[in-house]
Amino acid sequence: MVTRILLMAAALAATPVIAGEAGRTHIVGERQANAAPLPFSDGVMVGDTLYVAGHLGLDPATGQAAKDTEVEARLVMDSVKHTIEQAGLKMDDLVSVTVYCTDLGLYASFNAIYRTYFHDQYPARAFIGAATLLRGAHYEVLGVAVRPSKAKD
């Protein structure tokens, strides 16, 4: 487990950040750096707002969702956090989150892990029962984060 997370952290460190046209910055993951990249950015920053793509909690060894749902919950939140940090923001800058979950019986378990990623106040959030998710995932998490300097005006 710890090893997997460290491996993931090492892989994440290589994520390239690409400043696109028109002032948009695209955060693109390792998969996007592959020969056959998938057609999405992990996040797009425009002005002071970061749109965070739907993230999965993938086991880097298999490319599928981690089999243990607690591990998966940590991996998906770590992955969201990584994208946010690549954009120069923090988890507490998230203002809105949507969690898609294939089993609402995991609600309390997910919440216990989710809480540890924030201080004091939480983003607005929706928690939706999805029929299915890609790669065998139990969770897909997306959100919007806003740079505090904007918030201060």
Footprint on this chain of its own copies (rule: CB under 8 A): 18, 20-24, 26, 28, 38-44, 46-47, 51-54, 92-93, 95-98, 100, 102, 104, 107, 111, 114-115, 118, 120-134, 140, 142, 144, 146, 148, 150-153
Q: Which C-beta is closer to its own copies: that of 69 or that of 102?
A: 102
Whole-number Å distance between alpha carbons of 31 and 35: 8
CB of 7 to its own copies, least distance (A): 24
**CB closer to its own copies out of 5 and 92:** 92
Q: What is the DSSP annotation of 76-101?
A: HHHHHHHHHHHTT--GGGEEEEEEEE
137 and 109 Cβ atoms separated by less than 8 Å: no
Neighbours of 108 (CB within 10 A): 7
Smaller CB separation from its own copies, 4 or 70: 70
Bridge partners, residue 141, by sequence: 55, 99
SS3 150: helix
33: three-class secondary structure by DSSP: helix
Closest approach of its own copies to the CB of residue 63, in Å: 14
Least distance from C-beta 129 to its own copies, angstroms? 3
- Residue 8: CB minimum distance to its own copies, A: 20
